[in-house]
């Protein structure tokens, strides 16, 4: 582990940083400069930058009733999607909207819900019931059950018809698989399961897992309220339980994290701007006493808009 030459190699995980959905959402918010129905993405730096430009950030749906009184005539819907009735409700209030919902949700997740329901399946959505994405997604079906723990599964009703599980786009495959297995063991043995994690999340999770297996320590950069960043940190902790550091600012880096190590990994969630990764790299170079060499692992995969997850049945 210790490098006698006093050189630290810093390796940035391939695909680290913002995905196409987040980049498009920020662009839309900056283009229209209208109040946003909640944090546009779960990254405080991005949200603060928009707020500093004078763009109001509203409480996701609580402020809806107040939008007219606040004098606003337009709003921006965040990347996490929107409950089914939202657009109609905005129209009735005479409020225009600009929709930054990620196309993965619009075309892939909501589409899957529609298709399976048409085929007579009952849908189990595996994800955090309090997350904006899940609150929105569950409204696109009839009686979708949301589960996020074994206790939630225990409460599922008896049912002998066709069932299918889909998941939050940012969940880990491990968590999805564990809950799918438990549902099959205890409730619906024939249940189908489709991994609806998006491709950027899949790529990042794999990249961090690969990196965490050989570096000496790893920094995971991104908002503490970001589900995908938190999941990256949890994945890294499997291999580096004492040397995984989730940070949302370069100022949090402590010099002793860099002592007596040779290889430091960096991972960053899909809502973490590339500029934040650069700031962290700069901070490492300032804090570390010896020579620092930076490199990016592998080629950053080109992920095109509309290049969704291939159908992965688990």
Active site amino acids: 133
Nearest CB to ligand SF4, comparing residues 163 and 205: 205
Least spacing, CB of residue 15 vs ligand SF4, in Å: 11
Per-residue three-class SS string for 75-120: EEECCCCCCCCHHHHHHHCCCEEEECCCHHHHHHHHHHHHHHHHCC
Report if residue 76 touches ligand SF4, rule: CB under 6 A.
Answer: no
Which residue reads 């589960």 in tokens? 147
Exposure string (b/e) for 287-311, b if CB count within 10 Å is 16 or more? ebeeebeeeebeeeeebeeeebbee
Figure out which of the listed residues 231, 270, 276, 309 binds ligand SF4, where binding follows CB under 6 A.
270
Q: In whole angstroms, how close is the CB of 169 to ligand SF4 at the nearest point?
A: 4
Lay out the site mask for ligand SF4 across 160-199 (x = CB under 6 A, - = otherwise). ---------xx---------------------------x-
**According to CB under 6 A, which one of 29, 124, 201, 280 is a site residue for ligand SF4?**
201
SS3 1: coil
With respect to ligand SF4, which residue has the nearer C-beta, 162 or 202?
202
Of 8, 16, 22, 123, the one binding ligand SF4 by CB under 6 A: 22
- Residue 18 CB, shortest distance to ligand SF4, in Å, is 8
**Nearest CB to ligand SF4, comparing residues 37 and 105:** 105
- How many angstroms separate the Cα of 228 from the Cα of each of 141, 188, 201, 249, 282? 24, 28, 7, 17, 24
The rounded distance, in Å, linking the Cα atoms of 168 and 197 is 6
- CA 85, distance to chain mean position in Å, is 24
Of the candidate residues 79, 90, 179, 247, the single one contacting ligand SF4 (CB under 6 A): 79
User: Is 203 near ligand SF4 (CB under 6 A)?
Assistant: no
Q: Which of 64, 36, 63, 62 is nearest to 50 (CA)?
A: 36
SS3 assignment, position 74: strand
Q: Which residues bind ligand SF4 (CB under 6 A)?
A: 19, 21-22, 79, 102, 104-105, 169-170, 198, 200-201, 228, 270
């Amino acid at each position: 582990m210790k490098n006698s030459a006093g050189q630290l190699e810093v390796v940035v995980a391939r695909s680290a940083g913002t995905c196409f959905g987040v980049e498009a959402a920020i662009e839309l918010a900056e283009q229209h400069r209208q109040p946003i129905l909640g944090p546009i993405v779960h990254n405080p730096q991005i949200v603060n930058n928009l707020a500093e430009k004078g763009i109001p950030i509203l409480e996701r749906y609580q402020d809806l009733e107040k939008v007219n009184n606040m004098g606003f005539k337009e709003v921006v819907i965040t990347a996490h999607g929107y409950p089914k009735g939202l657009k109609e409700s905005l129209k009735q209030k005479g409020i225009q909207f600009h929709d930054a919902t990620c196309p993965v949700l619009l075309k892939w997740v909501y589409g899957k819900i529609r298709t399976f329901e048409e085929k007579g399946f009952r849908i189990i959505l595996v994800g955090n019931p309090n997350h904006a994405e899940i609150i929105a997604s569950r409204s696109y079906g009839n009686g979708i059950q949301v589960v996020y723990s074994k206790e939630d599964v225990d409460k599922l009703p008896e049912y002998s018809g066709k069932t299918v599980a889909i998941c939050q786009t940012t969940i880990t495959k491990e968590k999805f698989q564990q809950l799918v297995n438990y549902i099959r063991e205890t409730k619906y043995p024939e249940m189908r399961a489709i991994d609806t994690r998006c491709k950027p999340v899949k790529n990042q999770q794999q990249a961090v897992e690969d990196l965490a297996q050989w570096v000496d320590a790893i920094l995971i950069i991104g908002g503490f309220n970001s589900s995908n960043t938190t999941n990256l940190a949890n994945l890294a902790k499997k291999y580096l339980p004492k040397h995984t550091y989730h940070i949302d600012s370069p100022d949090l880096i402590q010099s002793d994290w860099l002592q007596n190590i040779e290889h430091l990994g960096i991972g960053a969630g899909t809502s973490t701007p590339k500029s934040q990764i650069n700031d962290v790299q700069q901070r490492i170079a300032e804090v570390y006493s010896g020579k620092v060499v930076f490199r990016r692992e592998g080629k950053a995969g080109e992920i095109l808009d509309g290049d969704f997850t291939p159908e992965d049945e688990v």
